[in-house]
Amino acid sequence: GMLRSEVCCSVSELRSVVFIPFMGLALPIPRSKSISSRFYNNYSTSYDPPTEPAVKLDTCMQVFTKEETLDEKEGPHCNKCMSMTKSTKELSRSKFTEFLVIHLKRVFRYGVHSKLSTPVEFENKTAHMEHGIMTGVSQIET
């Protein structure tokens, strides 16, 4: 498949679009700030991170494609401004393959590495793509 990556300079509004080939997607699992802070504040070697309510696979895809702000250090060099500037970056799907491999990023770090046990809901038989977002109803726990 192909992802469309669009970067926009916040100063000159110059847009740059590139297409990135992929065979699979590594999707983040969103978690609430309260869960993260409780885990970090109460962490000990025998403490397991709390389980959060189930999230849908399309929510993971929305987090993956959400527009992000890049500061001057992360942002690209703008050819119009002739410097590194604050910019925004947004991913969207350009084309999906017939089969899509999805990796759920369950490992996170707050001083130490840990693994989320959040259930992710998705349709068992076929995931339907609607505007690049997956829709589904079944729940499978890993």
What is the pTM (predicted TM-score) of this model?
0.68
What pLDDT, on the 0 to 100 scale, is given for residue 41?
46
Residue 68's pLDDT is what?
92
* pLDDT tens, residue by residue, 58-108: 888 889 999 999 988 877 888 898 888 899 999 988 887 778 888 998 887
Q: Which residues contact 6 (CB under 8 A, 6 or more apart)?
A: 15, 16, 17, 89, 90, 92
Does residue 99 contact residue 1 with C-beta atoms inside 8 Å?
no
